[in-house]
Structure 1
Amino acid sequence: MAGNKLVVLDALDVAKTQWYHFTAIVIAGMGFFTDAYDLFCISLVSKLLGRIYYTKPDLEKPGTLPPNVADAVNGVALCGTLAGQLFFGWLGDKLGRKKVYGITLVLMVVCSVGSGLSFGQSANGVITTLCFFRFWLGFGIGGDYPLSATIMSEYANKKTRGAFIAAVFAMQGFGILGGGFVALIVSSAFNNRYNPPAFQDNPEASLPSQSDYVWRMTLMFGALPALLTYYWRMKMPETARYTALVAKNAKQAAADMSKVLQMEIQAEKTKVERLAGEPSNTFGLFTKEFAKRHGLHLLGTTSTWFLLDIAFYSQNLFQKDIFSAIGWIPKAATMSALEEVFKIARAQTLIALCSTVPGYWFTVALIDYMGRFAIQLMGFFFMTVFMFALAIPYNHWTHNHLEFVVMYSLTFFFANFGPNATTFIVPAEIFPARLRSTCHGISAAAGKAGAIVGAFGFLYAAQNQDRNKVDAGYKPGIGVKNSLLVLGGINFLGMLFTLLVPESKGKSLEELTGENDEGEIETTEQINAAGGRTVQV
């Protein structure tokens, strides 16, 4: 069986960690830095948008985004991301990873700038323009998921592949952190210059005209890292696995990887043509053969990502509401608009710095030792535990802010040292090269469907809480408490669906799919017998 392996792919599998690996991590990772920055920075400025455009003329209290507007502002980029994941995932398998890789960055640059320049003659006009650009921004972000994951998995060696893909995804943590730092710097700079009073002291002066610059500058900064990365993305060669196994161009694959690995690799045209005709390399996505070999795997990757993102995006997009509910962030009327942005950014930056970022890098360090399955199961388990620990004695935490923040931070830590990383990694490893980007895009789109459910669902719970304030039996924070209980149950379901996800640690991509071995196909029974955790299909 060893004699049937393509030399170019075997060379990639056994290659020592070298400079091109780190270059690929940075190039793909900066895309994810931008993705996270652009998706989550809206939560830093959404309250400011409400104060600028929806404060009532009587000035009794700071304005807030109406429910339908808040839905659109928070969810439209996620809708665009879902569409982009499906479209670019499919396109990456049809045209190649590299050919469409730069398009996603161009979309992100243009739409980040467009978001900051949103215009209109009324509040609704500005928000409509913002939502238009945010949708197409999300569309570009969506393409980055399957393309970055697939490129990194196809470049990596089998020994440290998990760490390399996880390192790309870990840049998401720095993107969240970067958004917080930018909001802190911009809001602090304008607040120190103009020093507006609290709303209740002087409603008009608490919202200076310069406040409009803060949200625009924060959103536009997302264009910078994407712009800086564009040239290097265009310099990357197409992956050898796509060129050899999908495009069937043995000569080009050998030439590209000879440069990358700095070694002479011979083209194997005859072997590539022979492998191309094998039944294991010809079935399509909507076939019985795919359903037999990978149906449960795709169900596992889509369901776990869907459930994970309900919890993860709910927490990230509405941290400010949770912190306000427990009193960690003061009421809006007690501070100026810019002070509010600063305090929201400070809270989210602390969470990212203390738990989100470390969680990602624990995954990078341990995934090729512990395996994907163990980390994902562990993460869902501890997220379930900490969600219930926050929700059940909720009234206790409203009087113990520091303890609440510590517990809440642990849910982020185990999300990232857990399923938020592994759901990104596994779909880039277990599907055939000709369907890899498509299947990753489908899995990621299922995740964004969960994010949309989480974002809108949590927002509905918060709105329902406000409506219940008139009820005699109302208790402060009941909407947040119920949301945390629901999220705990969702994380428990994530544990159960993780049982459908195979372990891919230490095996080459072709060992997992059977593409590189003529007549020899790794069944799930063989994977299990070899020590890989999987289910039989």
Structure 2
Amino acid sequence: MTGSLKTRIKSVSLIFACGTALFSDGYANGIIGSVNTLLTRTYGKEALARHNYSTVVNSLGFAGTVVGMLLFGYLSDKVGRKFGMMSAAGIVVVFSCLSAASSGANGSVGGLLSMLSAMRFFLGIGVGAEYPCGSVSASEQSEEPGINRRAWHRWLGLSTIVMLVFGFSIAAFIPLVLYWIFGPNHLPVIWRLSLGLGAVPALAVFLWRLNMDEPVRYKKDSMRNARIPYNLVFRRYGGQLAAISIIWFLFDIIIELTAMLNDVFGIYSSTVLNNITGGSTDLAIIFGWNVVINLLYVPGALLGAFVVDYLGPKNTLASISIIGLVLQAIVGCFMSGFYSQLTKHIAAFSLLYGLFLSFGEFGAGLCTFILASKACPTAIRGQFFGAAAASGKVGAFIGIWIFPPIIKAFGGSESLRGNTGPFWIGSGLALLNAVIALCFIHPLTANGIIQEDQKFREYLEAHGYDTSQMGLADNHDLLTIVDHDSAVQDKKGDLEEDNGLVI
């Protein structure tokens, strides 16, 4: 193995060390639905309703995630990427275990549910922290000199959004496997193990990150030891932040509005799932279909990660977002128009539903991650990404609460219009997102992060800001080294484009 290849493999491994922890986000958000189903079977609907459990656990989980995104967005910029990543992984490990150990005084069900809800809040902080810490670091690592510039977005997508949707799939599969092992008479063991196993990938990532250093771009261009001129930052990047945040906000509403098959999450009620399962209450059947549904997210994310770099650096992200959103809208309209026929042919419905979800991940799901992490300078990247990601979580939370009234307004869950309404709305929002991406999103440049950092420095200097305070101590000489290596890499990339993508 040549030294060059070893360097590239090491560079790619660092990208995954930073971004792979988003698997924990997918797992944490995915597993709670199955756990809620198990809790209902174990303690009864009345016990959960009496303590308003469903509302409390969902509200606290989302609140914790938003707090983590915003708080660690700031800490990622002002304290350090590694501090944020290590803290995030550690929080997920601790509170995944504590969630599994939830119990109430003297066996109180109310106490158990209260503790679980509280642990989900703190777990949400760790999960939310991964976005502005791990994803941002993965973005910066993806443009290191050892990475081919024609694979920058691919590696970032594979290490973040693909890991996220893969976490959803594993979260659906784990309860099914545990149910096969322990059977219907040991449901408490199943839900506790399902929650506790979330600590395993987080612990692995924590150990993986121990010997990591801060990304080179952070050492060079951070404002850890300098005052951040927020007035200048908002003047230059406020518009892009607003556009990306709105796209992420609407995309997460679409996901919640159209999650009609996910009755397992305990949030929605749908006649479609009853058609699929024949009204079965067998957990093996319900969990099995949940696995199928969650796997439908994966193809779009994978395809998008491998396509994104081929469309060209200037138009890549806006183009792929628009393509994915328009295709999602078309499929959504088709599903709404032929809903009654499709529900009689479950394979066809599942295929189209899978395309609807995949196109969403192929477009906005993938591109919001890349845009939010590369459309701003290193100095404020954590806060920029954290704010955009938090807007998405707020959209998801709103989607949960507006879903029942929408169903009711369209005629109720027992009517044809009630079940098709969310797909019409989801399709409309997807088209709106496509318009926003077309009109307001600035395509990334070929030189990505490095060029944006240079432009930001020039902008600050033009407004009288002393840029000599930027960067970490004893690392000001990185500018010449990094920019020289990047220039060499760009020339190598131009030569390699005709021979296909390499690492």
What is the TM-score with the length of structure 1 in the denominator?
A: 0.75
Hey, what does 2:187 align to over in structure 1? 211
Q: Is the counterpart of residue 290 in structure 1 residue 233 in structure 2? A: yes
Deviation at 1:409, TM superposition (A): 0.6
Instruction: Tell which structure's C-alpha radius of gyration is larger.
Output: 1
Which among 172, 175, 178 is matched to residue 167 of structure 2? 175
Q: Which structure 2 residue ranges, 5 or more long, are not aligned? A: 144-148, 463-503
Deviation at 1:388, TM superposition (A): 2.0
Deviation at 1:91, TM superposition (A): 0.8
Runs of 4+ in 1 over 6 A off after TM superposition: 14-17, 519-522
Q: Is the counterpart of residue 24 in structure 1 residue 14 in structure 2? A: yes
Alignment partner of 1:368: what SS? coil
Equivalent-residue separation in structure 2 for 1:235 and 1:21 (angstroms): 14
Deviation at 1:44, TM superposition (A): 2.1
Equivalent-residue separation in structure 1 for 2:403 and 2:362 (angstroms): 24
Q: 41-50 vs 475-484, which deviates more?
A: 475-484
Q: Is the counterpart of residue 483 in structure 1 residue 422 in structure 2? A: yes
Q: What amino acid is the match of 1:153?
A: S
Deviation at 1:160, TM superposition (A): 2.3
Which among 284, 294, 302 is matched to residue 352 of structure 1? 294
The correspondence of residues 218-229 of structure 1 with structure 2, limited to 5 A, is: 218-229=194-205
Q: Is the counterpart of residue 154 in structure 1 residue 140 in structure 2? A: yes
Deviation at 1:104, TM superposition (A): 0.5
Equivalent-residue separation in structure 2 for 1:317 and 1:18 (angstroms): 43
Give aligned-pair identity as a percent. 26
Which among 119, 129, 135 is matched to residue 133 of structure 1? 119
Hey, what does 2:218 align to over in structure 1? 242
Deviation at 1:382, TM superposition (A): 1.6
Q: Work out whether residues 75 and 456 of structure 1, in 8 Å CA contact, stay in contact via their aligned partners in 2.
A: no
Equivalent-residue separation in structure 2 for 1:136 and 1:331 (angstroms): 38
User: What whole-Å deviation, never above 9, does each CA across 1:325-367 have from its counterpart, x for those lacking one?
Assistant: 35344376x43xxx32x223322322333x3212111122111
Q: 387-396 vs 132-141, which deviates more?
A: 387-396
Q: Work out whether residues 429 and 504 of structure 1, in 8 Å CA contact, stay in contact via their aligned partners in 2.
A: yes
Deviation at 1:181, TM superposition (A): 1.9
Equivalent-residue separation in structure 2 for 1:444 and 1:317 (angstroms): 23
Equivalent-residue separation in structure 1 for 2:85 and 2:91 (angstroms): 11
User: What whole-Å deviation, never above 9, does each CA across 1:477-531 have from its counterpart, x for those lacking one?
Assistant: 6543222222222222211221311111522313234348757999xxxxxxxxx
Q: Work out whether residues 113 and 223 of structure 1, in 8 Å CA contact, stay in contact via their aligned partners in 2.
A: yes
Deviation at 1:96, TM superposition (A): 1.2
Alignment partner of 1:238: what SS? coil
Deviation at 1:177, TM superposition (A): 1.6
User: What whole-Å deviation, never above 9, does each CA across 1:431-455 have from its counterpart, x for those lacking one?
Assistant: 1211111000000000111111112
Name the CA shift for 1:107/1:519 in 2 (closer, same or farther; >3 Å).
Answer: closer
Q: Is the counterpart of residue 39 in structure 1 residue 29 in structure 2? A: yes
Hey, what does 1:86 align to over in structure 2? 70
Alignment partner of 2:209: what SS? helix
Q: What amino acid is the match of 2:150?
A: K
Hey, what does 2:469 align to over in structure 1? none
Q: What amino acid is the match of 2:98?
A: G
Q: Is the counterpart of residue 511 in structure 1 residue 451 in structure 2? A: yes
Q: What amino acid is the match of 1:175?
A: G
Equivalent-residue separation in structure 1 for 2:414 and 2:201 (angstroms): 45
Name the CA shift for 1:319/1:44 in 2 (closer, same or farther; >3 Å).
Answer: same
Which among 92, 98, 102 is matched to residue 114 of structure 1? 98
User: What whole-Å deviation, never above 9, does each CA across 1:448-473 have from its counterpart, x for those lacking one?
Assistant: 111111122225556x499x77xxxx
Deviation at 1:15, TM superposition (A): 11
Q: Work out whether residues 84 and 138 of structure 1, in 8 Å CA contact, stay in contact via their aligned partners in 2.
A: yes
Name the CA shift for 1:505/1:186 in 2 (closer, same or farther; >3 Å).
Answer: farther
Deviation at 1:220, TM superposition (A): 1.3
User: What whole-Å deviation, never above 9, does each CA across 1:45-78 have from its counterpart, x for those lacking one?
Assistant: 322222222246xxxxxx9757943233334322
Q: 83-92 vs 148-157, which deviates more?
A: 148-157
Hey, what does 1:343 align to over in structure 2? 285
Alignment partner of 1:113: what SS? helix
Hey, what does 1:405 align to over in structure 2? 350
Q: Work out whether residues 307 and 494 of structure 1, in 8 Å CA contact, stay in contact via their aligned partners in 2.
A: yes
Hey, what does 2:436 align to over in structure 1? 497
What is the TM-score with the length of structure 2 in the denominator?
A: 0.80
Q: Work out whether residues 51 and 110 of structure 2, in 8 Å CA contact, stay in contact via their aligned partners in 1.
A: no
Equivalent-residue separation in structure 1 for 2:356 and 2:39 (angstroms): 29
Name the CA shift for 1:182/1:459 in 2 (closer, same or farther; >3 Å).
Answer: farther
Q: Is the counterpart of residue 330 in structure 1 residue 272 in structure 2? A: no
User: What whole-Å deviation, never above 9, does each CA across 1:66-106 have from its counterpart, x for those lacking one?
Assistant: 79432333343222111110100111011111122111011
Equivalent-residue separation in structure 2 for 1:106 and 1:317 (angstroms): 34
RMSD across aligned C-alpha pairs, in angstroms? 3.0
Name the CA shift for 1:22/1:383 in 2 (closer, same or farther; >3 Å).
Answer: same
Q: Is the counterpart of residue 99 in structure 1 residue 44 in structure 2? A: no
Name the CA shift for 1:314/1:81 in 2 (closer, same or farther; >3 Å).
Answer: farther
Alignment partner of 2:376: what SS? coil
Name the CA shift for 1:450/1:345 in 2 (closer, same or farther; >3 Å).
Answer: same
Q: Is the counterpart of residue 185 in structure 1 residue 127 in structure 2? A: no
